């Protein structure tokens, strides 16, 4: 979807100013938000792609005026409601008011350590042959899906060069909406800054984007 999260190359938002010696968390509630978000994911009710989509589909005014972990917290509340793990009155009151949902596993400290060390790999068994090869010129398709996608707006319709072939990975566009993993070949594609933003762009700038095969066409 073309949401407020997809700001690459957009003018009018000022410079990105890195915070010197920025801490991992600015306050304790941010630390807790990350912890409960990871714990919620361990319940297995939603995929990484669904959680990303829910963060990204916040109303533009909300997204642009929220801090990073405020967006995470809002998204987690939406996911818990959508999957029937909490009710609205429980969120409003900040405590459980109803019996827990059936089949929800208990998350213990030793479980957390084991699951985090394993991660959530998205690579799947290779099938067929890749449609593109390293060094090949490709063009990012000019697509504007209403649902989730990992193809940034600023590269759509532009020509780039395949840098790497990563194997076959879960397609986020369908996995985010319960449409199955539908694994596809995944590539890293390099774009020149002048290709993306014209002759006034810094000629030394290059952008690399990970793109699934259905995002690309031969140039």
Task: Show which of 98, 118, 138 is a domain's final residue.
Answer: 118
Residue 7 lies in a domain: no
At residue 87, the pLDDT reads 93
Please, which contacts does 126-133 make with residues 24 or more away whose CB atoms are closer than 8 Å? Answer: 126/167, 126/168, 127/168, 127/183, 130/165, 130/185, 130/187, 130/213, 131/185, 131/213, 131/216, 132/162, 132/165, 132/185, 132/187, 132/213, 132/216, 132/218, 133/162, 133/165
pLDDT of 198 > 80? The answer is yes
Q: Are residues 133 and 207 in the same domain?
A: yes
Q: What is the CATH number of the domain that holds 58?
A: 1.10.472.20
Residue 15 lies in a domain: no
Count of C-beta atoms within a 10 Å radius of residue 168 = 21
Q: Are residues 41 and 88 in the same domain?
A: yes
Residue 13 lies in a domain: no
Q: How many Å apart are CA 6 and CA 137, to the nearest integer?
A: 24
Torsion of CA 82, 84, 90, 92, to 10 degrees: 10
At residue 118, the pLDDT reads 82
Q: Are residues 159 and 202 in the same domain?
A: yes
Q: Are residues 44 and 103 in the same domain?
A: yes
Q: How many Å apart are CA 37 and CA 79, to the nearest integer?
A: 10
pLDDT tens track for 37-67? 998 998 889 999 999 999 999 999 999 999 9
**Tokens standing for 172?**
């986020």
pLDDT of 76 > 80? The answer is yes
Task: Show which of 101, 118, 135 is a domain's final residue.
Answer: 118
Q: How many Å apart are CA 105 and CA 152, to the nearest integer?
A: 36
Q: Are residues 101 and 135 in the same domain?
A: no
Residue 67 lies in a domain: yes
At residue 183, the pLDDT reads 98
Q: What is the CATH number of the domain that holds 142?
A: 2.30.30.50
Q: How many Å apart are CA 3 and CA 58, to the nearest integer?
A: 8
Q: Which of 10-24, 33-47, 152-166 has the highest mean pLDDT?
A: 152-166
Q: Are residues 205 and 136 in the same domain?
A: yes
Please, which contacts does 38-46 make with residues 24 or more away whose CB atoms are closer than 8 Å? Answer: 38/112, 38/116, 39/107, 39/112, 40/76, 40/79, 40/80, 40/85, 42/105, 42/107, 42/111, 42/112, 42/115, 43/85, 43/104, 43/105, 43/107, 44/105, 45/79, 45/83, 45/85, 46/79, 46/83
pLDDT of 107 > 80? The answer is no
Q: Are residues 128 and 169 in the same domain?
A: yes
Q: Are residues 93 and 145 in the same domain?
A: no
Mean pLDDT of 90-109: 83
pLDDT tens track for 178-197? 999 999 999 999 999 999 99
pLDDT tens track for 200-210? 999 999 999 99
At residue 125, the pLDDT reads 96
Residue 213 lies in a domain: yes
Range of lowest pLDDT (93-97, 144-148, 156-160, 200-204) = 93-97
Q: How many Å apart are CA 126 and CA 134, to the nearest integer?
A: 17
Residue 62 lies in a domain: yes
Q: Are residues 62 and 43 in the same domain?
A: yes
At residue 83, the pLDDT reads 93
Domain limits at 103? 28-118
Report the sign of the C-alpha dihedral through residues 206, 166, 144, 131, in that order: positive
pLDDT band at 9 (very low <50, low <70, confident <90, very high): confident
pLDDT of 105 > 80? The answer is no
Number of domains in the chain: 2
Kindly state the DSSP code that residue 94 receives in the 8-state scheme: T
Q: Are residues 211 and 134 in the same domain?
A: yes
Torsion of CA 183, 184, 190, 194, to 10 degrees: -100
Q: Are residues 68 and 133 in the same domain?
A: no
Task: Show which of 59, 92, 118 is a domain's final residue.
Answer: 118
Residue 23 lies in a domain: no
């Amino acid at each position: 979807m073309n949401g407020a999260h997809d700001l690459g190359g957009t003018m009018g938002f000022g410079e990105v100013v890195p915070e010197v010696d920025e801490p991992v968390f600015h306050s304790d509630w941010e630390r807790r938000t990350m912890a409960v978000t990871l714990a919620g994911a361990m319940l297995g009710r939603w995929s990484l792609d669904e959680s990303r989509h829910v963060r990204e589909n916040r109303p533009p005014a909300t997204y642009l005026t929220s801090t990073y972990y405020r967006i995470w917290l809002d998204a987690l509340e939406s996911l818990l409601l959508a999957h029937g793990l909490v009710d609205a009155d429980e969120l409003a009151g900040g405590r459980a008011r109803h019996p827990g949902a059936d089949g929800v596993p208990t998350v213990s400290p030793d479980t957390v350590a084991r699951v985090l060390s394993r991660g959530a790999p998205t690579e799947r068994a290779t099938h067929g042959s890749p449609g593109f090869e390293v060094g090949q010129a490709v063009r990012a398709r000019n697509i504007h899906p209403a649902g989730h996608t990992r193809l940034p707006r600023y590269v759509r319709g532009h020509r780039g060069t395949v840098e790497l072939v990563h194997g076959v990975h879960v397609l986020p566009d369908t996995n985010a909406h319960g449409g199955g993993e539908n694994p596809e070949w995944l590539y890293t594609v390099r774009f020149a800054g002048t290709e993306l933003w014209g002759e006034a762009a810094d000629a030394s700038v290059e952008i690399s984007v990970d793109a699934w095969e259905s995002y690309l066409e031969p140039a």
